[in-house]
Structure 1
Amino acid sequence: MADKYQIKHEGIVETAEGGHARVRILTQSACASCHAKGVCTAADLQEKIIDATCDRPYASGDKVTLTGNSKSGLQAAWWAYILPLFLILGTLITTFSLTSNENLAGLLALGILVPYYLTIKLLNKKFFKTFSFTIKPSTE
């Protein structure tokens, strides 16, 4: 039952030291597996590097499976997309209601993201602990 709520990605270890590793994974959108992807420009296939924790030593080039909790994925979506959207809308509506100046409202609504993402950057270590992946040897 625990596997039902797990995010899993196959990857290759790039570097590993001291309980942490950087793993290269290949992500694809739903479009990438579509039969019409050859004629569609929306197909998306990307390589990403993920920082993960490991409980044993790994060497560069080892095939591994990254696992994470799907609940963490929802929390990450909240912090990265949903909360900033509410901040933008709230700032836009409040500023426009108070000033009736569309330009100022739009500028402040976008400007609110600067301190928000700077704060997220400062809390990076806390988020790394919360939203971490773990590594297991690949089952191939």
Structure 2
Amino acid sequence: MYHYTALVTVLALMLFFYMAVRVAQARARFGVKAPAVTGNADFERTYRVQVNTLEWLPIFLPALWLFAIYVSDVIAALIGLVWIAGRAMYMVSYAKAAEKRGLGFGVQALAALALLVGSLIAIVWRLLHG
């Protein structure tokens, strides 16, 4: 069973849900009516955080689960928590100013890369040494 990875998956989805709520709140606060996604810089940054996270979820979630299956549930979950922390840092810093988003982006990108590369190595290893 992969309880830790499952928990981290739920936490990542909860963070994404929170980002969606923030976008809805920003629409109301800044008067940006759907389907518009431009018109107010503060809204646009909030929106981009959610969309960028959506762009990363198809990379992160399969890599997280493959790592858990082929390497370790606990290590996958720990790296997943780093990814979530990076996304949260990205969200907070990008909301303040676009140029401040780099550190959070870098943290989550490195975590995703670790999951991807670790999964690939473990899968190839098992294929070769099965």
TM-score class, shorter-chain normalisation, is 0.3 to 0.5
Structure with greater strand percent: 1
Normalising by structure 1, report the TM-score: 0.32
Structure with greater helix percent: 2
Q: Quick check: which has more Rg, 1 or 2?
A: 1
Normalising by structure 2, report the TM-score: 0.34
